[in-house]
Structure formats: structure tokens, C-alpha cells
Amino acid sequence: MVEGDILGHQDVGWGKDVYLEARGRDDRTTSNKLVADWLVSHNIISGSDRPLFGEELKKALIHYFEENPGWDPGNPQSETDSTVNDLHAFIADQLTEDFNELKFYRTNDSPLDTLFGIDAFFEFRGRVLTVDVTANPHKISHKADIIIQARDLTDTIGLELVAKSIVNQFKRPPIRIAS
């Protein structure tokens, strides 16, 4: 799992067996039940709450990781390498003087990864940008806001290009959907 090599791992109680079982299900009801059980066990929802789906579920999971980051999101440090910290620094340097304003959260091997393909997300001044890290050079379709090729994170030039792409996303005005 390439994103784990880059992002490191945070044990969120979404063990490999549950992850694989949920991911391998064609039956959405069983998959959603596994996720619901995890949400209840982590006090994201109570057992009496109505089930969360789609964007509501994604927002609840993002909120969980904001509250339980597993590291300092303003100064992320992977156990395995400095890529995450370097990327954070390149992005923050272009957005703000206070690096702590840009937060980075890893969510690989979690329900966000299983259901939404989100390996990590950045938060800057209330805006969230979700990320999918992949080793598949042909991957076009993704559920996250931005896809990052793992090969682009292997050197300074690649990191700077990825950072510039993320900065450009944050500088665009948010899309507003009329209701």
C-alpha cells in the first residue's frame, strides 16, 4: 500500500480484516453496517442516530480526524519519511506565514479511504481539500478532490509541483451549489 509508505499509519481501529471485508462487499448494506459500527464505536454517532450516507458521512468522518489527528496536523511527521512534512511546508509557504494554519490529516486505512478513496486531507481557513495518493499512473477517476501520483512525491521538483497544484485549489473560490 503506497499511501501508507508515504503517509505512515494511524491505527484508528479500522483493522485490515474489517477494511478488506467492507471494501470487498458488493452488498452496500453490509458494507455500510460495518462503517456504522465503527462510527458508533468511535463516538462519531450514537447507535440511535439515523444512518449517515454520502456527503454527510464524509463530513462526519472528516470531523472525526480533525478531532483525532494522530499527530500535530500543523507540523505533520510520518514515522517513515519526511515527504509529508516537506509537502506541508511547500504548500504552507505559498499560502500563509503561519504554517500551523495549514492542517494535514492522514486517513488512509480508514472508512474515509474505503468508502471515499480519501487517503488524506488538508484544511486551510475552514476549507477542506481531500487527497488520493496512488501508484497507478493510469488512474483518472477518483472521489477525492485531488489525485496525487506517488511518483511525484519522490523528489523536490515533484513535491513543488504537487504543492503548487494544491495551492491553486485553495486559491480558487469554493464552488457554491444553489439550493
| pLDDT range class, residue 157, cuts 50, 70, 90 | very high
Question: Which among 57, 83, 93, 71 is positioned nearest to 167, based on CA atoms?
Answer: 93
φ, ψ for residue 134, nearest 5 deg: -140, 150
Q: Which of residues 99 and 179 earns the better pLDDT score?
A: 99
Of all helices (H) and strands (E), which one includes residue 47?
none
- What residue has cell string 487527497? 131
pTM of the model: 0.75
pLDDT tens per residue, range 54-66: 677 778 778 877 8
Which pLDDT does position 169 carry in this prediction?
92
- Please state the length of the chain: 179
Which pLDDT does position 173 carry in this prediction?
83
**Average pLDDT of span 59-80:** 77
